[in-house]
């Protein structure tokens, strides 16, 4: 994707939710009105929700959920491709839905689609994306959105192994983690790995780089020569191909 557009309807409130490849299409304008009524009911029930202007409910930390979209010159069955990327910069797991609506110059809805985030969007800057196909796209001049869902605390437990997270580098459905720990045995590292498996379970994969010098440990990518000199192990998991492994640097 070359560039992203911030939805013009946004005030300083970012849309929420994310993706997967499952999208439920709504068939008429009455559906949109029903969704707004449901959204209001969810607010009364204590469910976090954020709706693009003119109606905007801001509950909890929804301002830490960011939505970006890109319109691409790709067409299928009379519909145009829109790529939507969602980022969760909160410290909690987010579960919910996001409705994307394409509107014309008169602010009338031309077409819309709904993205279901069933497995949730992991915290700490994790990103996911969805591909939407909107009809009559030549009439769409802007994009609106509405969001409903809940934040959940991820319970990871405690371990008897000293370690400190020195940095993170989020990717699309993936996370790079940088960890300092003075221990080097496989059993101890597996305890640390188990914590991150719980924290990033909703992602397709993640990688942990282990360092034995806190001052030199990496905090982001690319890693410096100093960080590389004190890296002693790395772990990766890729759910797409079922592969994972803990490897020690020779």
The residues spanned by each domain of the chain are 23-152, 164-248
Q: What is the pLDDT of residues 25-83, one digit of tens each?
A: 333 444 445 544 554 444 444 444 444 332 223 334 677 878 888 999 999 999 999 99
Sequence-ordered list of residues with C-beta below 8 angstroms from that of 117, at least 6 positions apart, any chain: 17, 18, 19, 20, 86, 94, 95, 96, 97, 98, 128, 149
Contact 39, 51 (CB under 8 A): yes
Q: How confident is the model at residue 212 (pLDDT cuts 50, 70, 90)?
A: very high
Beta sheet of 65-76, edge-to-edge order: 65-76, 79-88, 126-135
Q: What is the pLDDT of residues 96-142, one digit of tens each?
A: 888 889 999 999 999 999 888 888 999 999 999 999 999 999 999 99
Q: Which CATH number fits domain 23-152: 1.10.10, 2.60.40, 1.10.390, 3.30.43?
A: 2.60.40
Closest of 188, 204, 169 to residue 246, by C-alpha: 188
Paired tokens of 58: 């801001």
Q: Is the pLDDT of residue 242 over 60?
A: yes
Backbone angles phi, psi at 19, to 5 degrees: -135, -160
């Amino acid at each position: 994707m070359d560039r992203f557009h911030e939805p013009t309807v946004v005030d300083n409130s970012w849309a929420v939710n994310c993706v997967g490849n499952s999208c439920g299409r709504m068939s008429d304008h009455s559906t949109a009105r029903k969704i707004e009524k449901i959204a209001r009911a969810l607010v009364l029930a204590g469910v976090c929700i954020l709706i693009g202007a003119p109606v905007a409910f801001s509950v909890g930390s929804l301002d830490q959920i960011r939505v970006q979209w890109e319109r691409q010159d790709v067409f299928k069955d009379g519909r145009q491709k829109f790529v939507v990327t969602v980022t969760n910069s909160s410290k909690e797991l987010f579960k919910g839905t996001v409705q994307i609506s394409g509107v014309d110059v008169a602010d009338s809805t031309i077409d819309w689609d709904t993205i279901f985030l069933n497995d949730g969007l992991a915290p700490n800057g994790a990103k996911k994306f969805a591909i939407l196909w909107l009809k009559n796209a030549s009439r769409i001049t802007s994009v609106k959105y509405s969001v409903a869902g809940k934040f959940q605390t991820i319970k990871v437990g405690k371990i008897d192994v000293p370690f400190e997270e020195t940095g993170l580098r989020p990717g699309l459905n993936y996370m790079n983690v940088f960890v300092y720990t003075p221990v080097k045995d496989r059993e101890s590292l597996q305890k640390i790995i188990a914590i991150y498996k719980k924290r990033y379970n909703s992602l397709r994969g993640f990688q942990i780089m282990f360092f034995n010098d806190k001052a030199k440990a990496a905090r982001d990518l690319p890693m410096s020569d100093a960080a590389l000199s004190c890296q002693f192990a790395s772990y990766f998991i890729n759910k797409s191909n079922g592969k994972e492994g803990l490897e020690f640097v020779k």
